[in-house]
């Protein structure tokens, strides 16, 4: 991971016009080629934070730095070109009459010619694995809508893709499809990804770093392995630990697994159990 | 009646489906179809003969059928325009001179001219509605945005296009609200008057929700670089010689009908 952040939100605060505090004194960094998970219960400020990443919301206080350059009211388009935002409600994002028209919308706004925009849209749709270009977004399934919404942002070739609740309301197969796509963005395209989620299992599986938010404030920041084993922290944030953490803790409590390795992904836990069984067999 | 209830609001997805597929009218030049719309509006405005207005209405239905669009949907979509025209014309129906047809002494009199007025308004309105539907169902959104881009100066073209989209957002929200009402037993079958308060509520909520949804769509557009300018990338085909000929003949027919309508009832 590079030591220079791509995006740096420095002591950001945002208060809505009705007086509600969205986020308060929040510091947030995104480094190149990483997946950052933003976890928190409903109303913790996750969506407010994500809307600042793209310049949709302007902070009441604080500073946004993109690759060392300060972003203010005069140059939000720089932020919009570099950070793509995928909204939680894909229905509100897909407004054009066909999939192709919708995916071309962002590249056209970025100043691409129609032929360039079409190539970018074709490339993005291929990347997400969606082939039916002339389909009407209205008729797509929830998972397909989410894929097309991501393609619409990826076609703009941003450096960071922020996705609000990427797998909420999706069936397990579609959720896995989206999860693999997010990993592909990081691993194959070198794009940084920010996800906001209260799905702790998803955050544990794919995040390189995690921010835990509560009432618009960052409670903790770090690697999932540290944060998700901190019971007090999760209790304070009103979050449940990922399933793997829960299973490992139960097994450790029963003395089955007690090596202190703190697995965070299912495959890590399975390999620990396998090792333990092999050792037991050897003893027998 | 059930099918009528479920299909009396033009549905965006249906309209897009027909406008994006390659039907017979879809291949025509969007300019020719737009000039046709102007001609229809002019004809419906200047023609006073009831018979000619009925002919104009039949022509609009024939064009719709020629486009291979579903006639059953057109019948459903006609319900609201019919209700709207009847509501408007009811105000004038009692004040028309002529031979009394229906009369309740001392209460009201409806004359033959009053009824003729309703018939004229109905066919005039429906002819334009039918052709407008034929136009938008045979013209892709990118072509409509191309037409707006060339016809209106900035920012009116953007206002036009966003309004066009907003109308469909309202339709979508209304459709969802109506379905939710029907799912819980609300129905036009019980009569419009007995359920008018339900429909008024649905309409009011629909408008509020539409603004909310439009705001979210606007926000998502902004996130993808929209800065108040919708760029059109569609090359619009000019009318062919045949299309010019059809338009010219149509103009001649409208002018002739206007000049000689005095001899037609």
Q: What are the pLDDT digits (tens) for A242-269?
A: 999 999 988 888 877 777 788 999 899 9
Judged by CB atoms closer than 8 Å, whether chains meet at B223 and A54 is answered as yes
Nearest to B141 among A56, A97, A153 (CB): A97
pLDDT, tens only, B165-184: 777 777 777 777 777 766 66
Interface contact B235, partner A, CB < 8 A: no
Q: Where in the sequence is the domain holding A270, given as residue range(s)?
A: 242-284
Alpha-carbon distance B147 to nearest alpha carbon in chain A (angstroms): 16
In-domain check, residue A130: yes
Res B90 pLDDT > 90? no
Provide the total of helices (H) and of strands (E) in chain A, helices listed first: 12, 10
Which of A209 and B265 is assigned the larger pLDDT?
A: A209
In-domain check, residue A2: no
Judged by CB atoms closer than 8 Å, whether chains meet at B225 and A134 is answered as no
In B83-117, which positions are buried (b, 16+ CB within 10 angstroms) versus exposed (e)? Answer: eebeeebeeebeebeeeeeeeeeeeebbbeebbeb
Sequence-ordered list of residues with C-beta below 8 angstroms from that of A39, at least 6 positions apart, any chain: A46, A196, A197, A198, A200, A203, A210, A211, A212, A213, A237, A239
Res A160 pLDDT > 60? yes
Contact yes or no for B198/B177 (Cβ under 8 A): no
Interface contact B17, partner A, CB < 8 A: yes
Which of B163 and A6 is assigned the larger pLDDT?
A: A6
Judged by CB atoms closer than 8 Å, whether chains meet at A77 and B227 is answered as yes
- The pLDDT value recorded for residue B211 is 81
Give the pLDDT band (50/70/90) at residue B2: very low
pLDDT, tens only, B35-80: 999 999 999 999 989 899 999 999 999 999 999 998 888 888 888 8
**Mean pLDDT for the stretch of residues B16-27:** 85
In-domain check, residue A234: no
Q: Are residues A246 and A155 in the same domain?
A: no
Both tokens of residue A145?
């809508």
Q: Are residues A193 and A256 in the same domain?
A: no
Contact yes or no for A209/A230 (Cβ under 8 A): no
User: Which DSSP category does B237 fall into?
Assistant: P
- The pLDDT value recorded for residue B252 is 94
Residues 203-222 in B contacting A (C-alpha not used; CB under 8 Å): 213, 216-217, 219-222
- The pLDDT value recorded for residue A111 is 86
Residue identified by tokens 């849209």 is: A121
Q: Order the strands of the A217-222 sheet from edge to edge.
A: A83-86, A160-164, A192-197, A35-39, A209-214, A217-222
- Where does a domain end: A205, A228, A251? A228
Judged by CB atoms closer than 8 Å, whether chains meet at B16 and A98 is answered as yes
Residue identified by tokens 């388009």 is: A77
Q: At A207, which CATH number?
A: 3.40.50.300
User: Which DSSP category does B112 fall into?
Assistant: H
Nearest to A89 among B13, B216, B231 (CB): B216
Interface contact A134, partner B, CB < 8 A: yes
Q: Which residues of A touch B217 (CB under 8 A)?
A: 92-93, 95
Cα separation, A82 vs A179, in Å, equals 22
Q: Are residues A209 and A274 in the same domain?
A: no
Interface contact B87, partner A, CB < 8 A: no
Q: Are residues A197 and A272 in the same domain?
A: no
Determine which of A95, A113, A132 to mutate to test the interface with B (most B C-beta atoms within 10 Å): A95
Nearest to A109 among B12, B219, B226 (CB): B226
Res B29 pLDDT > 50? yes
Q: Are residues A170 and A197 in the same domain?
A: yes
Both tokens of residue B114?
């009053």
Give the pLDDT band (50/70/90) at residue B1: very low
Res A192 pLDDT > 60? yes
Q: What is the pTM of this model?
A: 0.76
**Mean pLDDT for the stretch of residues B137-162:** 83
User: How distant, in Å, are the alpha carbons of A223, A250, A275, A278, A284 from that of A281?
Assistant: 34, 22, 10, 5, 5
Give CA torsion, residues B252, B256, B258, B261, to 10 deg: -150
Q: Are residues A119 and A258 in the same domain?
A: no
ipTM: 0.74
Res A170 pLDDT > 90? no
Contact yes or no for A64/A98 (Cβ under 8 A): no
Q: Are residues A199 and A264 in the same domain?
A: no
Q: Are residues A219 and A188 in the same domain?
A: yes
| Residue B249: alpha-carbon gap to chain centroid | 24
| Residue A194: alpha-carbon gap to chain centroid | 3
Which of B14 and A53 is assigned the larger pLDDT?
A: A53
Q: Average pLDDT of chain A? A: 90
Q: Are residues A159 and A281 in the same domain?
A: no
How many structural domains is chain A composed of? 2
- The pLDDT value recorded for residue B6 is 54
Q: Which residues of A touch B20 (CB under 8 A)?
A: 97-98, 134, 136
Contact yes or no for A27/A10 (Cβ under 8 A): yes
Contact yes or no for A42/A93 (Cβ under 8 A): no
**Mean pLDDT for the stretch of residues B12-21:** 82
Residues 139-158 in A contacting B (C-alpha not used; CB under 8 Å): 139, 152-153, 156
In-domain check, residue A277: yes
Q: H-helix or E-strand containing B110?
A: strand B108-111
Provide the pairing of β-strand A61-66 with A192-197: unpaired
- Residue in chain B closest to A81 (alpha carbons) equals B225
Alpha helices in B105-195 (DSSP H): 112-138, 141-151, 156-183
Res B261 pLDDT > 80? no
Judged by CB atoms closer than 8 Å, whether chains meet at B140 and A81 is answered as no
In-domain check, residue A235: no
Sequence-ordered list of residues with C-beta below 8 angstroms from that of A195, at least 6 positions apart, any chain: A35, A36, A37, A38, A162, A163, A166, A182, A202, A203, A206, A207
Q: Are residues A65 and A183 in the same domain?
A: yes
pLDDT, tens only, A50-98: 999 988 888 999 999 999 899 887 788 888 889 999 998 888 788 787 8
Interface contact A69, partner B, CB < 8 A: no
Judged by CB atoms closer than 8 Å, whether chains meet at A109 and B225 is answered as yes
In-domain check, residue A102: yes
Nearest to B225 among A80, A87, A93 (CB): A80
Both tokens of residue B262?
């005095």
User: Which DSSP category does B236 fall into?
Assistant: P
Q: Which residues of B touch A117 (CB under 8 A)?
A: 233
Cα separation, A188 vs A183, in Å, equals 8
Res A215 pLDDT > 50? yes
- Where does a domain end: A228, A253, A272? A228
In-domain check, residue A149: yes
- Asked if the bond preceding B155 is cis, omega within 30° of 0, the reply is yes
Q: Are residues A252 and A138 in the same domain?
A: no
- The pLDDT value recorded for residue A283 is 81
**Mean pLDDT for the stretch of residues B222-227:** 84
From the list A194, A185, A195, A159, the residue with the least C-alpha distance to A81 is: A159
Q: List strand residue ranges (DSSP E) for chain B, in order.
A: 100-104, 108-111
Q: Are residues A124 and A208 in the same domain?
A: yes
From the list B82, B86, B79, the residue with the least C-alpha distance to B6 is: B79
Nearest to A95 among B20, B165, B227 (CB): B165
pLDDT, tens only, B91-139: 788 877 878 878 787 777 888 888 888 899 999 999 999 999 999 999 9
- Residue in chain B closest to A94 (alpha carbons) equals B217
Q: Which residues of B touch A54 (CB under 8 A)?
A: 223
């Amino acid at each position: 991971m590079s030591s220079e952040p791509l995006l740096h939100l420095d002591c950001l605060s945002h208060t809505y016009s009705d007086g509600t505090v969205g986020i308060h004194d929040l510091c947030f960094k995104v480094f190149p080629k990483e997946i950052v998970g933003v976890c928190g219960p409903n109303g913790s400020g996750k969506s407010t934070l994500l809307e600042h990443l793209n310049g949709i919301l302007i902070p009441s206080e604080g500073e946004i730095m993109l690759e060392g350059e300060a972003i203010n009211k005069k140059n939000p388009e720089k932020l919009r070109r570099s950070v793509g935002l995928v909204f939680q409600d894909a229905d509100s994002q897909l407004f054009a009459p066909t999939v192709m028209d919708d995916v071309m919308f962002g590249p056209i706004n970025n100043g691409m010619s129609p032929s360039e925009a079409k190539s970018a849209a074709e490339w993005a749709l291929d990347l997400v694995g969606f082939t039916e270009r002339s389909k009407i977004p209205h008729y797509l399934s929830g998972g397909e809508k989410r894929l097309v919404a991501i393609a619409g942002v990826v076609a703009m070739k941003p450096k960071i893709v922020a996705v609000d609740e990427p797998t909420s309301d999706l069936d397990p197969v579609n959720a896995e499809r989206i999860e693999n796509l997010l990993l592909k963005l990081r691993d194959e395209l070198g794009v940084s990804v920010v996800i906001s989620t209260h799905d702790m299992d998803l955050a544990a599986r794919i995040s390189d770093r995690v921010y835990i938010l509560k009432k618009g404030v960052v409670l903790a920041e770090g690697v999932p392995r540290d944060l998700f084993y901190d019971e007090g922290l999760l209790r304070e944030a009103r979050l449940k630990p990922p399933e793997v953490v829960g299973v490992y803790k139960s097994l450790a409590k029963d003395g089955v697994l007690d090596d202190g390795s703190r697995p965070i992904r299912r495959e890590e836990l399975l390999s620990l159990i396998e090792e333990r069984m092999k050792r037991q067999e050897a003893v027998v | 009646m059930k099918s009528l209830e479920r299909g009396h609001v033009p549905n965006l997805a249906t309209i897009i489906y027909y406008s994006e597929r390659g039907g017979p009218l879809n291949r025509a030049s969007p300019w020719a179809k737009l000039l046709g719309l102007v001609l229809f509006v002019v004809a419906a405005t200047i023609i006073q003969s009831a018979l000619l207005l009925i002919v104009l209405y039949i022509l609009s239905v024939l064009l719709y059928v020629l486009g291979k669009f579903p006639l059953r949907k057109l019948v459903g979509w006609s319900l609201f325009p019919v209700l709207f025209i009847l509501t408007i014309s009811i105000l004038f129906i009692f004040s028309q001179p002529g031979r009394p047809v229906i009369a309740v002494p001392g209460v009201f009199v409806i004359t033959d001219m009053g009824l003729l007025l309703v018939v004229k308004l109905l066919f005039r309105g429906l002819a334009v509605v039918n052709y407008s539907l034929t136009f938008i169902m045979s013209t892709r959104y990118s072509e409509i945005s191309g037409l707006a881009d060339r016809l209106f100066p900035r920012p009116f073209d953007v206002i036009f296009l966003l309004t066009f989209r907003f109308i469909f957002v309202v339709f979508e929200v209304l459709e969802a609200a109506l379905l939710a009402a029907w799912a819980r037993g609300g129905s036009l079958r019980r009569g419009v008057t007995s359920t008018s308060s339900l429909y008024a509520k649905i309409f009011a909520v629909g408008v509020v929700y539409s603004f909310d949804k439009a705001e979210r769509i606007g926000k998502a557009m902004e996130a993808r670089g929209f800065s108040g300018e919708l760029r059109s990338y569609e090359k619009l085909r000019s009318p062919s010689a045949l299309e010019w000929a059809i338009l010219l003949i149509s103009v001649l027919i409208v002018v002739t009908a206007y000049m000689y309508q005095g001899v037609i009832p």
